[in-house]
Structure 1
Amino acid sequence: MKKLIFLFAILFSLSGIAQNSQLFEDANNAYAEGNYEEAVAKYEQILENGETSAELHYNLGNSYYKLSRIAPSIYHFEKALQLDPGNEDARNNLTFARTMAIDALGTEESEGFWGIFDRSTSAFSAGGWAWVAIICMMVFIVFFLVYYFSRRSMIKRMTFIGSMFFLVLAISSVIIGFLKQDLQQESNFAIIFSEEVEVKSEPSVRAGEAFLLHEGAKVKITENFQEWVEIELPNGSQGWMQENDLKRL
């Protein structure tokens, strides 16, 4: 009975993958034909099915951009860069999408050691560095086995050096991956989705207005209070707004 349940689980999983693959192809075809609304609907359906990827978010960003829907366009380009920091197409298109936003807030650059660390390791996401660690560990094992079983001193010397190099690289990649994950969790950003938001000086509808923001603006969330969130802009300005006016990255 357990084997039968396991078999059904595998078949269900494979059917889901096949369905999402077909949806992705149909969405790409719809986009190529200029049917951007249809493309968006199919891409969003894939996300609802629990599948995500940098390519999926990138294509969604492009589709929303074609429909002049700025907030979701910026949001999905940002998500694509979270999953694939080295995606230059997503980075360039994000720059174009930002030019359509009303608020020219700029971008927040991390300062000090963590800023340098984040920029110097931007080739991969935290998950990408985990894969680098796995590959390096596999290469280490191969080198070490050759070193262990070889009888020639030259080969033993070279493979030992190579195995130690890839072991250090694997350990370093694991550390980088954990640090990037922690850094990403601490950097709690969101995109404004409402057309116009009145940011308050306090978490109350009766509080005075601090400033106005419009859809597509990227803000940093610094605190939560019931249905309110405190936000901070790159220039240091802070205020409170209702959480349903934005979407967390």
Structure 2
Amino acid sequence: MKKILFLLLITVAQSLFSQSVDSLFTSANELYKNGKFEEAIVQYKAIESKKVASSELYYNLGNSYYKLNKVGPSIYYYEKALQLNPLNEDVTNNLVFATRLALDNIEALPQTIFQKINTNYLQTLSYNQWAIVSILFSFLAATLFLLYYFSYSSSKKRLFFITSIICFLILIGSIFITYNQFSFSKNNTKAIVFAEKTEIRNAPTLNSEEIFVLHEGTKVLVLDAVDNWKKIKLADGKLGWIIASEIKEL
């Protein structure tokens, strides 16, 4: 009886939480439509503070900051939206517009053919989505093998055997891609510069040499951390140290 009551309480709490989030989201959307972007951001942030993560929430936050001409936060939230849904064309298009507002024009280093395949095709799905693909093909390969095993017709056996082998090979490939994308995501922490202007130095100290300057909205790769400093890398290969509080990791 106690277990049933406990489960009922959990269900009611989840229902109330969902209603609360939906209510906040609806209210924030209305504020956005009425041009009250700062108030909308407060409501969206309230949802975010409840540990709710969704592509739609981050997309709306990005739009709100974009309307206020806040380049860093708008790019940051568009990037977060794409992390959850890389195929969202609306986010991709808006990110292009927001990136044009950033002052730093950094040309990326030429990519190898494998890097281009990874960027243009493999990274269109997150490692979680690739994991789902792997699971689907594992079930499909197992089902086809069972059909092959229990079939009596030689033509059907041949068909099921060949298709099960193909699915198994795709399964191995998707597992490899899933692991590769997970490792890439884990070892490549990206961040957005939030400071309007910041000096990048050659060592993690204020008295070290300034080597270049970055502005709000620039995307960097975080390589290392020392005290309140982060070692970063730009798309063009430049390296340097930045004060940690002046960037926000994705």
Q: Structure 1 length as normaliser, TM-score?
A: 0.87
Instruction: Give the corresponding residue for 2:45.
Output: 44
Question: Would you say the 8 A contact 2:131–2:174 is kept in 1?
Answer: yes
SS where residue 204 of structure 2 aligns? coil
1: distance between equivalents of 2:197 and 2:95?
21
Instruction: Give the corresponding residue for 1:167.
Output: 168
Instruction: Give the corresponding residue for 2:220.
Output: 219
SS where residue 99 of structure 1 aligns? helix
- CA apart distance, 1:222: 2.2
Instruction: Give the corresponding residue for 2:243.
Output: 242
Q: Deviations over 1:33-92 (max 9, x none)?
A: 333223322222222211212232222212211111110111111112222222232222
Question: What aligned pairs does 1:52-63 form with structure 2 within 5 A after superposition?
Answer: 52-63=53-64
> Runs of 4+ in structure 1 displaced over 6 angstroms?
none
Unaligned runs of at least 5 residues, structure 1: none
Quote the RMSD (CA, aligned, Å): 2.4
2: distance between equivalents of 1:109 and 1:16?
48
Mean CA deviation greater in 39-48 or 182-191: 39-48
Question: Would you say the 8 A contact 2:108–2:236 is kept in 1?
Answer: no
2: distance between equivalents of 1:15 and 1:163?
46
Unaligned runs of at least 5 residues, structure 2: none
SS where residue 223 of structure 1 aligns? strand
Distance 1:165 1:95, change over 3 A: same
- CA apart distance, 1:3: 4.0
Question: Would you say the 8 A contact 1:109–1:115 is kept in 2?
Answer: no
Counting matched residue pairs gives 249
Distance 1:26 1:108, change over 3 A: farther
Q: Structure 2 length as normaliser, TM-score?
A: 0.86
Question: What aligned pairs does 1:189-204 form with structure 2 within 5 A after superposition?
Answer: 189-204=190-205
1: distance between equivalents of 2:189 and 2:131?
22
Identity of aligned residues (%): 37
Question: Would you say the 8 A contact 1:118–1:180 is kept in 2?
Answer: no
Instruction: Give the corresponding residue for 1:117.
Output: 118
- CA apart distance, 1:99: 1.0
The reply on whether 1:73 has 2:74 as its aligned counterpart is yes
Instruction: Give the corresponding residue for 2:229.
Output: 228
Q: Match for 1:101: what amino acid?
A: A
Instruction: Give the corresponding residue for 2:140.
Output: 139
Instruction: Give the corresponding residue for 1:128.
Output: 129
